[in-house]
């Protein structure tokens, strides 16, 4: 069965289900072989789903890390700008009374 599945097209949302069944020889197969084909298709779909979930999880983790890093940078930028604003205000008040 593994040799038959080497020519199987990669499953995607654009892949026609009939094309997959034809690649697996569904029309010529007996009942037992058809059950194996259906199980293989289910396995391919589950594998594809697990890969998608793993990619999504990794993407979310990367985005979280980037967000935390950016948040820390913005926090310190606000501290620096706040300090510069207070310093500018004090210099302005001092120069006003001179």
For residues 37 and 75, the model is more confident at 75
Beta-carbon contacts of residue 33 (< 8 Å; ≥ 6 apart): 25
Stretch 63-89: mean pLDDT: 94
pTM for this model (two decimals): 0.48
Q: For residue 90, give its domain range.
A: 4-96
Domain count for the chain, please give it: 1
Q: Output the pLDDT for position 73.
A: 93
Task: Please write the tens of the pLDDT for every residue from 9-42.
Answer: 555 555 666 676 667 666 665 666 777 777 887 8
pLDDT for residue 79 is more than 60: yes
What average pLDDT score do residues 62-86 get? 93
Cβ pair 64, 56 in contact under 8 A: no
């Amino acid at each position: 069965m593994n040799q038959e599945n080497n020519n199987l097209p990669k499953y995607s949302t654009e892949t026609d289900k009939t094309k997959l069944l034809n690649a697996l020889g569904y029309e010529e197969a007996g009942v037992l072989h058809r059950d194996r084909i259906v199980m293989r298709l289910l396995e391919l779909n589950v594998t594809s789903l697990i890969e998608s979930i793993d990619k999504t999880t990794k993407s979310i983790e990367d985005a979280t890390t980037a967000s935390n890093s950016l948040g820390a940078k913005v926090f310190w930028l606000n501290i620096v700008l706040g300090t510069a604003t207070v310093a500018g205000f004090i210099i302005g008040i001092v120069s006003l009374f001179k």
